[in-house]
Amino acid sequence: MTGFLIAAALLVAFTLLFLLVPLLRRRAEGAEASRAAINAGIYRDQLAELERDFAAGGLSPADYEESRRELQRRLIEDAGAGETAGPRAQPARKSAVLIGLALPMGAALIYFALGNIPALSPQSAQAPKVTAQQIEEMVAKLAARMEQNPDDTKGWLMLARSYKAMERYEEATRAFGKAEKAVNEDPHLLSEYAEAMALATGGSLRGRPSELLARALKLDPNFPDALVLAGTAAFEREDYAMAVVLWERLIKQLPPDSEDTKALAEGIRNARAAAQRQGKKSGKRPQGKAE
């Protein structure tokens, strides 16, 4: 709504600028100059006629001088009157004021009469809410389409992520498996696949999920999702030293004061304490194996 109103105000302002400037501007000085030039021409003609009469002997020298001085005096007076007479060309201030008030008010009235006022509310800009049933129906349609197009890798990945978001982890795992060729080349997809597989089997990252995470870290040793899950898998199999290594690699990538950093730091402390206890029991410091 704010953006629309700002844009509308700017549009009205620019329109007023083009309309009011000519009205507020004083009449061009050329108009006054033209008037002065006309008057000067008249006096020049009268002076020329006076000189012709004098040359023809129709005027005495005294009458000629008196008439010439009279013409000069009138010319000077007219020029002075033009400079001192009230506002020479007052701008059309009343018209400008009327237009300046009428245009914005008229535009607002027209919009309120014909426009879509509810569309200005912030709520109208929000995407319409989609119900859980509608989501279920869309996912079901996608699944049906994939049965008809089994080679559509992007479709399988979309379906897998949809199932994962809906917490239907077994179906998500199967959908990821249909696009395994693409999954095996992407650390993000490998991490998602491993997580879905673990959640489908009770939350354990042992076995196949750990293999997927190891492949993800081979592709990108610093991929955050793979690091956090691989560290969890190491902690689960009691390789606490490796959990520390992986989580410390991850914590360097996080903002120092974030909640994730605090939670991960607590996990690292727990892993170190567990590694120390483990070392005391075995009589040697445990060494983590790389994923």
Q: What is the pLDDT of residues 232-251, one digit of tens each?
A: 999 999 999 999 999 999 99
pLDDT greater at residue 10 or residue 84: 10
Cβ distance 278 to 240 under 8 Å? yes
Q: Cα–Cα distance between 79 and 73 in angstroms, integer?
A: 10
According to the model, what pLDDT value does residue 29 have?
44
For tokens 């700017």, what's the residue?
10
Q: Where are the domains of the chain?
A: 2-123, 132-282
Q: Which of 215, 252, 214, 207 is nearest to 231 (CA)?
A: 214
% of the chain with per-residue pLDDT over 70? 53
In the structure, what pLDDT confidence band is assigned to residue 230 with cuts at 50, 70 and 90?
very high
CATH architecture of 132-282: Alpha Horseshoe (1.25)
Q: Which amino acid is at 21?
A: V
pLDDT digits (tens, 9 = 90+) for 150-165: 999 999 999 999 999 9
Chain center to CA of 251: 32
**Whole-number pLDDT of residue 2:** 57
Q: Give the pLDDT score at 131.
A: 85
Q: How far is the C-alpha of 233 from the C-alpha of 216, rounded, in Å? A: 14
Question: In degrees rounded to 5, what are phi and psi of residue 45?
Answer: -65, -40
pTM score of the predicted model: 0.55
Do 231 and 243 form a contact (C-beta atoms < 8 A)?
yes
Q: Which residues, at least 6 apart from 35, have a Cβ–Cβ distance to it below 8 Å? A: 82
